[in-house]
C-alpha cells in the first residue's frame, strides 16, 4: 500500500495516475493517511465556521447545468436586486453571534459591472469592521475589479473550477475553463486569498473527479480554501435526476483533497443538508475542517445552526478561532478581533 510522505513544500506536480492510486486505496487506509496529513497541519478538533449570504439572487445569464439561479431554467428562484449594506450587515452580525468567523457574500452575476463594485466594497468594509474574515463570490473579475475589492479589505475570493477540464464542457457552455483560471490569476495578483473547489456527483467519473483535484493542486498556489460541493439536484435544472454519488466516494474525494492540499481548508459546502451526521463525521475524520453554516447556502438549504452545534458537541469539535489578518491593521474602517469559541448552548 502506498504511504503518504509529508513534504515541507506542497506539491503542484501530482500526476493523474498518482491521484487515482490514492482514490483506489482501501477506504480505511485512505482515511487514515488523510487524517495523518490533517494532524500535521491542523488541530483535528477545530472546524472553521463560515456563513454565505446571497446578496443578489437569480437572473444569471449563464447556463451552468447545476445552478437554480440561471435565468434560463424554471426553478422557482426569483431574481432580486443587490441588497442594501445595512441588510447585509445585520445578517453578518447574526452570523457572528451564531459562531461564524467568516462571512461570504455571493451575487448571481456572470461578472460584476464596474458600477457595482463600490457598493460591494462598502459591504466588505462594514463586515470587516465586525472583526470577521470576508469572502465574496461575484463571478468573473477583471484585474482592476480585484484590486478594488482587495483595497476594501476582502480577504478571500471564491471562484470554483467546478469540475475537471475535460468534463467542463458537459456542464457549462457560456464560460470557458480558462476564464475561471484568469479570474483566479487576477485575485492572486491583487493579493487576495483564493477559495476554489468544485462540485462532485454531476455524472462525472472517478477519473474526472481526480481531474478536478489535479487542476486545483496544479494552480500556481494551492487554494487557501477548497469547497467540495455535493450536487444538490434542483428540479428544473438539467442535472435533476442524475444518479447520486456514493457517500463513500464523496468521503474518498475529501480524503484525497486533504492529502493533495495539506495546508488548505477543506470545506463541506453545498449538499450538507442531505448528509447524515455519520457521513459528515466521516468527512471530518478524513480531513474536512470547514463548513458553511446557517439556513441557506445561496438558494439551497443548509443544516441549521442548532443541528450543527449539536453534532460538534457529539464529536468533540469546536469552531476554529480566527484572528483577522494583521496586515489589514492600517486600513481605515477595520477592527481587529479574535473570534472565540461559541458553545452550543449559546446558539439561539
Active site residue 64: yes
For 69-101, give the DSSP string: TBTTS-SS----PPPPHHHHHHHHHHHHHTT-S
Helices (H) then strands (E): counts for the chain: 11, 14
CA-based nearest residue to 183, from 136, 227, 139: 139
Active site residue 196: no
Catalytic choice (125, 209, 252, 267) = 267
- Residues 56/58/63/66 CA torsion (nearest 10 deg): 100
Active site residue 60: yes
Per DSSP bridges, beta strands 296-297 and 300-301 are: antiparallel
Residues 6+ apart with CB under 8 A from 259: 4, 22, 33, 34, 37, 287
CA-based nearest residue to 66, from 271, 290, 291: 271
Catalytic choice (125, 180, 195, 209) = 195
Q: Are 223 and 197 in contact (CB under 8 A)?
A: yes
Q: At what angle do helices 247-260 and 16-23 cross, to 10 degrees?
A: 130
Residues 6+ apart with CB under 8 A from 306: 344, 347
Euclidean distance between CA atoms 229 and 217, whole angstroms: 17
CB atoms within 10 A of CB 310: 15
Euclidean distance between CA atoms 83 and 93, whole angstroms: 15
Active site residue 283: no
CA-based nearest residue to 329, from 153, 182, 184: 153
* Residues involved in catalysis: 60, 64, 67, 104, 135, 195, 267
Amino acid at each position: 500500500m502506498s504511504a503518504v510522505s509529508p513534504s515541507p513544500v506542497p506539491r503542484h506536480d501530482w500526476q493523474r495516475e498518482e491521484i487515482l492510486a490514492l482514490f483506489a486505496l482501501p477506504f480505511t487506509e485512505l482515511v487514515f493517511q488523510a487524517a495523518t496529513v490533517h494532524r500535521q497541519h491542523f488541530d483535528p478538533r477545530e472546524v472553521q465556521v463560515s456563513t454565505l449570504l446571497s446578496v443578489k439572487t437569480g437572473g444569471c445569464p449563464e447556463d451552468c447545468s447545476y445552478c437554480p439561479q440561471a435565468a434560463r431554467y424554471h426553478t422557482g428562484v426569483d431574481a432580486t436586486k443587490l441588497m442594501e449594506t445595512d441588510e447585509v450587515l445585520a445578517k453578518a452580525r447574526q452570523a457572528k453571534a451564531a459562531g461564524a468567523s467568516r462571512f461570504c457574500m455571493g451575487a448571481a452575476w456572470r461578472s460584476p459591472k464596474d458600477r457595482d463594485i463600490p457598493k460591494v466594497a462598502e459591504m466588505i468594509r462594514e463586515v470587516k469592521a465586525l472583526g470577521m474574515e470576508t469572502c465574496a463570490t461575484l463571478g468573473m473579475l477583471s484585474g482592476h475589479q480585484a484590486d478594488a475589492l482587495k483595497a476594501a479589505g476582502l480577504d478571500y475570493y471564491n471562484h470554483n473550477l467546478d469540475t475537471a477540464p475535460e468534463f467542463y464542457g458537459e456542464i457549462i457552455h457560456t464560460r470557458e475553463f480558462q476564464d475561471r483560471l484568469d479570474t483566479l490569476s487576477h485575485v492572486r495578483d491583487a493579493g487576495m486569498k483564493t477559495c476554489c473547489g468544485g462540485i462532485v456527483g454531476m455524472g462525472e467519473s472517478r477519473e474526472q473527479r481526480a481531474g478536478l483535484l489535479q487542476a486545483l493542486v496544479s494552480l500556481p498556489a494551492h487554494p487557501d480554501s477548497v469547497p467540495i460541493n455535493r450536487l444538490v439536484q434542483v428540479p428544473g435544472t438539467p442535472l435533476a435526476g442524475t444518479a447520486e454519488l456514493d457517500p463513500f466516494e464523496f468521503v474518498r474525494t475529501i480524503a484525497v483533497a486533504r492529502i493533495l492540499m495539506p495546508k488548505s481548508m477543506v470545506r463541506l459546502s453545498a449538499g450538507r443538508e442531505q448528509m447524515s451526521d455519520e457521513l459528515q463525521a466521516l468527512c471530518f475524520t478524513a480531513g474536512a475542517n470547514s463548513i458553511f453554516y446557517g439556513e441557506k447556502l445561496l438558494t439551497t438549504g443548509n443544516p441549521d445552526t442548532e443541528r450543527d452545534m449539536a453534532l460538534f458537541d457529539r464529536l468533540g469539535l469546536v469552531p476554529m478561532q480566527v484572528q483577522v489578518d494583521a496586515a489589514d491593521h492600517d486600513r481605515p474602517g477595520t477592527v481587529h478581533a479574535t473570534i472565540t469559541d461559541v458553545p452550543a448552548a449559546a446558539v439561539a
